[in-house]
Structure 1
């Protein structure tokens, strides 16, 4: 890892020297060059860069020996520490050199202060250079010559794999089929026995979570509701009950659990869970339980008059004894040829990729953005079996992935050892010394020891109980911070200390209570990510448009959706001058205005664009702007209201587009022109339409979209009949039709919708029969009906036990889960 740190530092030194070349070339450095300190600084940077470059190949080879050779390990650790010191000096230097804030008098005062700053930094670099030379001499003095020879003779080329391929869709268990079958049998047989506890136990890393996750994902649709909860070692009963409720809310289609549980006490939480589960058949997994007391503290929350199945995983044998009868599985370590397929612990890859980019881990290559390179690295981690897919979207792309216990423990140990990252979970007092990154997973950060000698570069907050006041000591102490991710924390205001962090590249405010970003955000000239999605922002300051390095801008005041994939109607007005943010790759969610639409065309690097409150007369300007966005992948356009017609026949979509969302009325007569703009694009996999006023003729224009994986129609269809011809939508996996008041007949010809997995028909009161031909949909796993005609509801609920009802049920006998609500 030291070789990687040095490689990143060499690039940073090169950037600093490029600044020198520009300023000398333009004459801006002439007056300052008279002060020998700044000239000496650039000279020292150049010398250090050359020294590190000559050392880089040796470090690459030495990494292989550091675990078995103490001398090599000591050398690498010293180089790593010196690299961190150099990085701190260079970051401060480049900031001071480029700082242009303030008026004339401020700039004059700054010039005098900088003379002493240049001298101080120059002396510091001189000391570091001496240390570097001493370390290099020791390397030659001791027995590391063999490594140096091997480094010179080592093959310089790197193996490359196809990093653009998707993860495999099917996830298979390895070596534990017998245990899987046992567990499935216990969970699905003898439902006359109301409450059954099954346990899976064994040492960390043997596959407990993997086994149970596979069974859980297979069987959960056969239960009325299901929940998966991971239990921390230092759990709190109330937090555990709240976590169970949040998981159950995912199965709460009627909205029975839509309550505020933030400040609720244990007794109320227990009553809510009992009331919701009473009379239901449910499945609950408690993963990674460390003591039997957990079960006895929460069991009162589960009613005895329901058919319940519990699965508990643990490393502790006493916990496994909670099993009902013989429903206990012990997993033992697998043989070597099986062990490569094991994983655990979830991480959201899009967020992870943004962190990689802003941390400087990714180098841009020809014909690929840094994000595309980073995604390739993620695929490589999967190819090497270090990560496993947890969740995918409807098009089969990865939403999240996970890491195995053993790999995670090894990664944490290596992170500590190499000063890469430290995790504070509140279980014991710890130190923030000797690390560059800190992951805070507990509100008890007063137990952390601070050091002024070490400069933290990243703070990640994973505890929503943390207050901004408790973070202030960190914000004051570490001005070189490049990443501050406060996602999910309950902060309402941003302290001034944040806007003095001249090195900040990532500011994460997603899901916080922040209502205002001050104009001083303009000081953060290195900011690349401003993620305030689902915060409480009402506006953005004018100074945002001065953040020329910004790549991601996520803002929205109300993230509620009408249908999955159609984003909120309410966005945020962006200040004038948005055209200057030419590096932007994501802009979501902004309100349309004449000025904004004129500026959008300059944002040619956009991959994601979501815009709302679009008016009819603005559509031409919007279409013209989108025409310049040749890299666009995701586009969402929402009208100012559901009665507004969007004139999109001039819309010209790039071939890179895969996700399209349109909310607003469409002219039926012009639908062929509208669809023709993207009908040839096989890459469009997700389409969501709302308020479109489609009828049978205009809907038929969509049938040419052969690449669709998901189609949502919300208040978008006004026809009486919906006909899917043979071979239409061959790749469609999800079809959702809601609020179609006149729809009374759905026909599915044989070989149509041949990949459909999930069919949802809601608020279609005239629909009196199942789709004609539904028996042809052999891949269908989930059928969800709500708000259809009373006759159809009765037949499917089979309350009258008639032959006609039985015939209906035979048509969907192959569907694993059928959900019907009035």
Structure 2
């Protein structure tokens, strides 16, 4: 049986209070920092009350220092909890007051005539009233702060809190050390990782080797390393296993290493071990390990400084010594392997291993009753292969009655179970260690992920834009705020708090998600701190003063009776729903403080008129709605930074959009999704004269340039652009467009399309292309391949469609040093493509599509050494498999779409003369196009190619043209 670590009821409640206090302090610290920053940013607008602003700013800074001091002292208890809640409330009140003031102050007089004069007087009076209200509010806040401080003095916390705090810390560390050290027969899915790690330890060079084992909390790093350590300990002369933890004491760690390494015979140099200085300990340890073969495990390293200090005491004496490290931080792991080592990342359990572990933890006979299996598998799925979570939940269920009601309760209320059940607290607090270790500025960013539904794949740029709109991202001189936010995201990933769900071809992040167990924890924490509320069903508990609301279901939701005057963000994830009040009835009185509004996927057909009154709005997404136009009054949203109208029916923007000088991301386009992408697969918007005035734009997509060359020249003013998309270009537009592109020195992605498939795309006059360009998409005929393309040292993706080049483009492209993805769609009129030796050294994905004159493809030895996927489509004259394809040893996927019957017959197993050339490729796919046939079922073994053929060992399908899947690559 597993060696469970038990805690008492007292310890549980104490720990819970401590965590609540810590979370509250961190949340308040963030809010205070945000408020101070807002005051500094907006002070110029406050007129006569600026001196009062300075006063409250000082109070806020003092409050923040007081909170941090209390946190450092380890104060806890019910009194501290109440006190922190009071501080939180007064801080939120302060933020509300400032935002309300900004809301009123930005309503500037703008009417004319007699009636306008009256309206202007009304606005003036409102602004004057706002200043008076702010003045009174400052006094009221200072009074509340004094009252809170006085109450703290009248009711001080217990003097033994520090002792309790020390006890709590030890409980966490003790559980972390003991969690998962089960019996050998009780471990699941560990054999292969153990074998791999043992190989890393015992094989390789004689020099010292460092092997960091990195992964999220609960994935089983310590358990795995312990089992490896036990297996190999007899192969080393000296052994030590030391837990480092966050609050490491270097002298204490060194002493423990020495005691364990020399427990049988302590060298004379360590006779005064307890009194030796840190430097002396390191020097003597280094000397004592000369000519020794040692194995040392440093478990749970959180700070790279700990490793930097320890490594200087461990000599490399060529005796095959090994050092193993466990950490949750990928950056620490990578730093540890210098100069020699290898990072190992244990994977979460596969589905069947996870199920087996659950059975062992839950049922005495390792067998699940049939009536509980569906729910049990649902519970296991929530754990996403995390051994710690599976073991904890299995242990909880093992104490429950084996009936459907109990299982359903656990499945539906896992978040509440984490909060209320002592057995699950152990797992939760191991995971919370990662959260508590985050710096202040990352904690709200991580909590923010609670707004997204379970298993939701979060687009990288969507998350970055939201963080910026919320004010979570600090400005750093010399960097775009988007770049700073990207660093935040990567740090959370490196700390294994966020999981990568999709990557681009170059390995960069495309989308991410949160492990379900972590999501349960941060959702509950967000609700407790009134940071965010997620509405999932009619029984969802909602605070009175909601600050962020994410709606995942409309069933039972009643918002009319809720106060939404404090709401900062509103999200909807109930796609396809036609929303009613208050979501579509935006009144300034209820939602005037809103900064983020995301209604993506709802069935809105008309732009809700009330949105234009949300003066503080920074982020507006109406993506995937049915909206066709925007009102002229959109100009009132002067703080708007992101306007996302992707996949809407908007094709023209009002000229008033040019007043939104803070716009950074303008996304107005849609794709016409068909089985076979036509030339005009993208629809953009007609841009307005004056677009060059939106100088803050980072992304502009997609501009419809038809018959207006002057606008293309004006784009040259947008020097901060990172991504630009343009369609409907005439040949005569080329010079003006090239002139503008040359000024966009920060451009990363360029997508250009000519007016028609026979209208020349002229980009030859571009003399100096943006140096950082990574992605280039060109649609339209080219007289020749522009020479500047071969100079793009950072180009990763290149797509040439309808280029119809007479000359072989491979000669110019083969030397591009970073090219990983190449698509040729009606791009070449020649009969042969030859990929020469040592060409396209990093290319991973190659798509050859509709080259109507192509008769031969040839790969020379040494060409495309990294190619992983090859897709060939509708090349009717290509009658045989590419020559030299057997030389492409790294190819994992080979796709053929709409090729001739004779071509495919040559590759059939058993009887095809060219089958031997592709038998090393694990995944070979065919799709036939037959207008009269439906999609044929595919099972991967015996598949009907047509009524007269039967094949074994390949994937075949017959498809109607209307339902054909075109391939996995982005440029297929």
Q: Which TM-score band applies after superposition, normalised by the shorter structure?
A: 0.7 to 0.9
State the match for 2:888 in structure 1.
777
Match of 2:486 in 1: 375
Q: How many residues align?
A: 664
Tell me, yes or no, if structure 1 residue 209 matches structure 2 residue 384: yes
SS at match of 1:77: helix
CA gap of 1:479–1:632, structure 2 versus 1, over 3 A, is same
Deviations along 1:667-725, one digit per CA (max 9) or x if unpaired, are 22xx3xx23x2434332111111111124533321112131111111121211101111
| Structure 2 CA distance for aligned equivalents of residues 567 and 445 of structure 1 | 44
| 1:107 is aligned to 2:120 | yes
Q: Would the alpha carbon gap of residues 109 and 96 (structure 1) be closer, same or farther in structure 2, given more than 3 Å must change?
A: same
Asked if the contact 1:432–1:448 (Cα under 8 Å) also holds between the matched residues in 2, the reply is: no
Q: 1:634 to 1:171 in 2, by over 3 A?
A: farther
Partner of 1:47: 55
Q: Any idea what the Cα deviations from partners look like across 1:444-468, whole Å, max 9, x if unmatched?
A: 3643464337510000100014323
CA contact (8 A) 2:383 2:517 kept: no
**C-alpha displacement of 1:62:** 3.9
1:547 aligns with 660
Alignment partners' CA distance in 2, 1:502 and 1:596: 29
Residue 415 of structure 1 corresponds to which residue in structure 2?
526
Deviation at 1:411, TM superposition (A): 0.1
1:80 Cα deviation (Å)?
2.2
Q: Does 1:129 align with 2:142?
A: yes
Distance in 1, matches of 2:776 and 2:403, equals: 49
Higher mean Cα deviation, 137-146 or 506-515? 137-146
1:527 corresponds in structure 2 to: 640
Q: Within 2, Cα distance between the matches of 1:522 and 1:462?
A: 27
Counterpart for residue 654 of structure 1: 770
Q: How far 1:748 sits from its partner (Å)?
A: 0.8
Aligned partner of residue 586 in structure 2, secondary structure: helix
Distance 1:367 1:567 in 2: 40
| Partner secondary structure for residue 44 of structure 2 | helix
Distance 1:517 1:178, change over 3 A: closer
- Which aligned pairs between 1:591-670 and structure 2 lie closer than 5 A? 591-592=704-705, 593-651=708-766, 652-668=768-784
2:95 to 74, 87, 101: 87
Task: State the distance in 2 between where 1:808 and 1:336 align.
Answer: 58
SS in 2 for 1:361: coil
- The alignment partner of 1:613 has SS state of strand
8 Å contact from structure 2 (residues 728, 754) kept in 1: yes
SS in 2 for 1:511: coil
- Indicate how the Cα distance of structure 1 residues 413 and 182 shifts in structure 2: closer, same or farther if over 3 A, else same: closer
The answer on whether the counterparts of 1:619 and 1:647 sit within 8 Å (CA) in structure 2 is yes
Tell me, in whole angstroms, the C-alpha distance in 2 between the residues paired with 1:504 and 1:739: 47
Q: Is 1:514 aligned to residue 688 of structure 2? A: no
Aligned-partner Cα distance in 2 for 1:422–1:648: 51
Asked if the contact 1:381/1:387 (under 8 Å) is kept, the reply is yes
Which deviates the most, 756-765 or 347-356?
347-356
Equivalent residue for 1:173?
Answer: 347
Instruction: Call closer, same or farther: CA 1:178–1:422 in 2, change over 3 Å.
Output: closer
Alpha-carbon contact 2:809-2:828 (below 8 Å) kept: no
> Using a 3 Å threshold, how does the CA distance of structure 1 residues 491 and 809 change in structure 2: closer, same or farther?
same
Residue of structure 2 equivalent to 1:710: 821
Counterparts of 1:473 and 1:775 in 2: how far apart (Å)? 60
Q: What is the alpha-carbon distance in structure 2 between the residues aligned to residue 623 and residue 507 of structure 1?
A: 32
Give the RMSD, CA atoms, in angstroms.
Answer: 4.0
Measured after TM superposition, the shift of residue 108 of structure 1 is 3.6
* 8 Å CA contact retained: 1:438, 1:458: yes
Residue matched to 1:18: 44
Structure 1 residue 169, shift from structure 2 partner = 12
1:448/1:100 CA distance change after superposition, 3 Å: closer
Give the C-alpha shift of residue 597 in structure 1: 1.0
- Tell me what 1:220 maps to: none
Alpha-carbon distance in 2 for matches of 1:727, 1:469:
62
Secondary structure of 2:550's partner? strand
Q: 1:61 to 1:601 in 2, by over 3 A?
A: farther
Q: How does 1:144-223 map to 2 (within 5 A)?
A: 172-174=346-348, 179=353, 201=376, 209-210=384-385
In structure 2, what is the Cα distance between the partners aligned to 1:335 and 1:450? 35
**Separation of aligned partners in 2, 1:435 and 1:351:** 23
2:31 is the counterpart of 1:5? yes
Pair member with larger Rg? 2
Pair 1:483-2:624 in alignment: no
Counterparts of 2:433 and 2:872 in 1: how far apart (Å)? 42
The runs of 5 or more residues in structure 1 that have no matched partner are 21-37, 184-196, 213-289, 294-312, 318-332
Note the C-alpha offset of 1:780. 1.0
- Partner residue in 1 for 2:298: none
Shift of 1:367: 2.4
Quick check: 2:530–2:543 contact (8 Å CA) kept in 1?
Answer: no
1:284-303 alignment runs, 5 A limit: none
The CA deviation string for residues 383-442 of structure 1, in whole angstroms up to 9 with x for no partner, is 222111111122211222222222111101110111110110124254352331000001
Deviates more, 1:681-690 or 1:159-168: 159-168
Offset, 1:316: 7.3
Q: Structure 1 residues 598-607 or 121-130, which shifts more? A: 121-130
Q: Secondary structure at the match of 1:630?
A: coil
Higher alpha-carbon deviation: 812-821 or 201-210: 201-210
Q: For the structure 1 residues 165 and 377, does the alpha-carbon distance in structure 2 shift closer, same or farther, using more than 3 Å as the test?
A: farther
Distance of aligned partners of 1:64 and 1:408 in 2 relative to their CA distance in 1, 3 Å threshold: farther
- Contact 1:757-1:779 within 8 A present in 2 as well: yes
CA distance in 2, matches of 1:638, 1:80: 53
Contact map agreement 1:566 1:688 (CA 8 A) in 2: no
Task: Give the match's secondary structure for 2:822.
Answer: strand
* Structure-2 separation of matches of 1:457 and 1:728: 53
Does the 8 Å contact 1:552/1:585 carry over to 2?
Answer: yes
Q: Which residue of 2 aligns with 1:814?
A: 920
- Alpha-carbon spacing, 1:315–1:48, altered in 2? closer, same or farther (3 Å): closer
User: Are 2:903 and 1:792 equivalent residues in the alignment?
Assistant: yes
Distance, in Å, in 2 between the alignment partners of 1:448 and 1:793 is 60
Q: Distance in 1 between matches of 2:523 and 2:75?
A: 16
The answer (yes or no) to whether the contact 2:841–2:865 under 8 Å persists in 1 is yes
Q: Distance in 2 between matches of 1:691 and 1:420?
A: 51
Structure 2 distance, partners of 1:164, 1:808, is: 49
Give how far 1:100 is off. Answer: 3.1
Counterpart for residue 574 of structure 1:
687
The 1:687–1:208 alpha-carbon spacing in structure 2 relative to 1, beyond 3 Å, is same
1:217-273 per-position Cα deviation (integer Å, ceiling 9, x unaligned):
xxxxxxxxxxxxxxxxxxxxxxxxxxxxxxxxxxxxxxxxxxxxxxxxxxxxxxxxx
The alpha carbon displacement at 1:761 in A equals 0.6
Q: What secondary structure is seen at the aligned counterpart in 2 of 1:469?
A: coil
CA drift at 1:605: 1.0
> What SS is found at the alignment partner of 1:711?
strand
Cα shift at 1:355: 0.4
Shift of 1:559: 4.9
Question: Aligned partners of 2:631, 2:344: CA distance in 1, in Å?
Answer: 48
CA distance in 1, matches of 2:800, 2:835: 18
Distance 1:70 1:435 in 2: 24
Question: Is the CA contact 1:431–1:449 (under 8 Å) kept in the aligned structure 2?
Answer: no
Contact 1:455 1:480 in 2 (8 A): yes
- Local SS of the residue matching 2:566: coil
Question: 1:587 aligns to what?
Answer: 700
Q: Secondary structure at the match of 2:512?
A: strand
Deviation at 1:659, TM superposition (A): 0.9
